[in-house]
Chain A
């Protein structure tokens, strides 16, 4: 971009494939920030990322199989052994802990970030095949969602400066 030329025609696309509380963050943070930086942003929600478009979100996470997840606790950091993660109630506890941590550290909720994405005209595409596969209902989703498939995404991706798969 030439100096003084700030007609920003840059663009970014993100494929959103994960719908857990923790993994919902990267796509929404990058999508909303890129939109704030005047990029045209498209988010394509597929497989486990698709439920992130449901009006009512009830995001959860698991510590199972995630040795890199070390929660700050009483001045130390604690990772959860898999055998403990598998016990009833542990996922619920970890989800509550994570949500409290977000709040304490001034991190936005996914609901707020999603609203910011919609407000800043991020183009939101729901994967039609996933919708059929998991028998989801478009009526349960937020307004402004387009339906599309792989070809729709590829068309967007060929015109985007940045393409991410998360």
Chain B
């Protein structure tokens, strides 16, 4: 499903967002970036990030202690 995966596990605020932004820059519009994070704050942060940047948050789920996000680049 995802075109690229970013493993941000173990990283704390604001690194998951900054690294996701960098990864999205390299993607074409319409492609999907999956992000794996262990930072509980990233749940609210990725929602806010997507609202501001206009990228679409397709998925925000928890799997054990990992937070999974799928972001579609607009």
Cβ contacts under 8 Å, B20 to chain A = 36
User: Does A68 sit within 8 A of B, measured CB to CB?
Assistant: no
Interface residues of B in 44-68 (CB under 8 A from A): 48-49, 52-54
Q: Which of B17, B21, B48 has the most CB of A within 10 A?
A: B21
- Report the separation of the CA atoms of residues A144 and B1 in the bound assembly, to the nearest whole angstrom: 40
Asked if A8 and B53 make an inter-chain contact with CB atoms under 8 angstroms apart, the answer reads yes
Q: In this complex, what residue of A is CB-closest to B45?
A: A33
- Report the separation of the CA atoms of residues A23 and B20 in the bound assembly, to the nearest whole angstrom: 25
- Report the separation of the CA atoms of residues A151 and B45 in the bound assembly, to the nearest whole angstrom: 34
| Shortest distance between the CB of B20 and any CB in chain A (Å) | 8
Cβ contacts under 8 Å, B49 to chain A = 36-37
Majority SS at the chain A contact face:
loop
- Report the separation of the CA atoms of residues A103 and B52 in the bound assembly, to the nearest whole angstrom: 29
Asked if B18 and A6 make an inter-chain contact with CB atoms under 8 angstroms apart, the answer reads no
Of the four ranges (under 10, 10 to 19, 20 to 34, 35 or more), the interface on chain B belongs to: 10 to 19
Q: Which of B13, B39, B74 has the most CB of A within 10 A?
A: B13
Per-residue interface assignment for chain B, residues 19 to 34, with 1 indicating a CB less than 8 Å from any chain A CB and 0 otherwise? 0110000000000000
Q: In this complex, what residue of B is CB-closest to A105?
A: B12
Asked if B52 and A38 make an inter-chain contact with CB atoms under 8 angstroms apart, the answer reads yes
Asked if A29 and B54 make an inter-chain contact with CB atoms under 8 angstroms apart, the answer reads no
User: Does B10 sit within 8 A of A, measured CB to CB?
Assistant: yes
User: Does A108 sit within 8 A of B, measured CB to CB?
Assistant: yes
Interface residues of A in 28-69 (CB under 8 A from B): 29, 32-33, 36-39
Asked if B15 and A36 make an inter-chain contact with CB atoms under 8 angstroms apart, the answer reads no
Mind listing 25 A-B residue pairs with CB under 8 Å? A6-B53, A6-B54, A8-B52, A29-B13, A29-B14, A32-B14, A33-B14, A33-B17, A36-B20, A36-B21, A36-B53, A37-B17, A37-B21, A37-B48, A37-B49, A105-B12, A106-B11, A106-B12, A106-B15, A106-B39, A108-B11, A108-B14, A108-B15, A116-B18, A120-B21
Q: Nearest 5 CB-CB pairs, A to B?
A: A6-B54, A36-B21, A37-B52, A106-B12, A33-B14
